[in-house]
Amino acid sequence: MNTQFILDYLSALSANNNREWYHANKDEYKKANAEFEKLLQAFILEIGKFDSSILHNVPKDLTFKIVRDTRFSHDKSPYNPAFRAHISPKGKMPVPVGYYLMIKPGNQSFLGGGLFADMFKDATTMIRDYISRNGKEWERIIHQPDFEKYFTVQGTALKNVPAGYEKEHPQADYLKFKSWYLEYPLKDEEVKNAEIFLVKAVELFQIMKPFNDYLNKALADFQMPAR
């Protein structure tokens, strides 16, 4: 569980973001990826102490590819120099929401939670409806002292309250949102010691759990669109 090795590999990939270097250093990638999967296994066990719904997960099923889809991007670099994972009851699927982790050198790592995806209109409607009916519980969660110490609810939002909801609703500002998520930024210094990082991250994930639970209650009947 060597997070310094992960950072070192990703830093080198960032400086040599081309297929030739990547393939010449494939063994280094495999080592870094193995360290990341060890870290995820530790996360699963520690998060599982307060959220047993994620204990069945296997680390390799939670990760995202570092190969970029460059078809519609001005940036043609082939790799995203980051290791990313989403730990939820249904693995890396965006719903139900869970615990998101990205390790990216240059102080770009972060911990996340909530719904990042704003393209699922049904999910957005379900959460808006739930907030409109359960506003007091929402306020209680996002104004807990520990929550406010570390998190602010973020997300893409409309300029106005959408049709069908009260413009003067107490949670009107949150009804404008199309996604509701949390991010806690991390400096490389906070990530490089795996044991210290694990303890801090698990503490933050536990603080965000009531927020995730609230969204997952709203999304209980959500079905992923058929491809």
- Residue-wise pLDDT for 35-80, tens only, equals 999 999 999 999 999 999 999 999 999 999 999 887 777 888 999 9
Residue-level pLDDT at 75 = 82
Q: Are 112 and 84 in contact (CB under 8 A)?
A: no
Q: Which comes out higher in pLDDT, residue 1 or 104? A: 104
How far apart CA 169 and CA 62 sit, in angstroms, is 38
How far apart CA 153 and CA 147 sit, in angstroms, is 10
| CA-based nearest residue to 41, from 12, 72, 1 | 1
In DSSP terms, 83 is beta-bridged to 103
Q: Which two tokens stand for residue 197?
A: 């990082």
Q: Look-up: residue for tokens 């280094």?
A: 28
Residue-level pLDDT at 196 = 96
Predicted model pTM: 0.94
Vertex 41, ends 11 and 39: CA angle to 5°? Answer: 25
Q: Are 129 and 218 in contact (CB under 8 A)?
A: yes
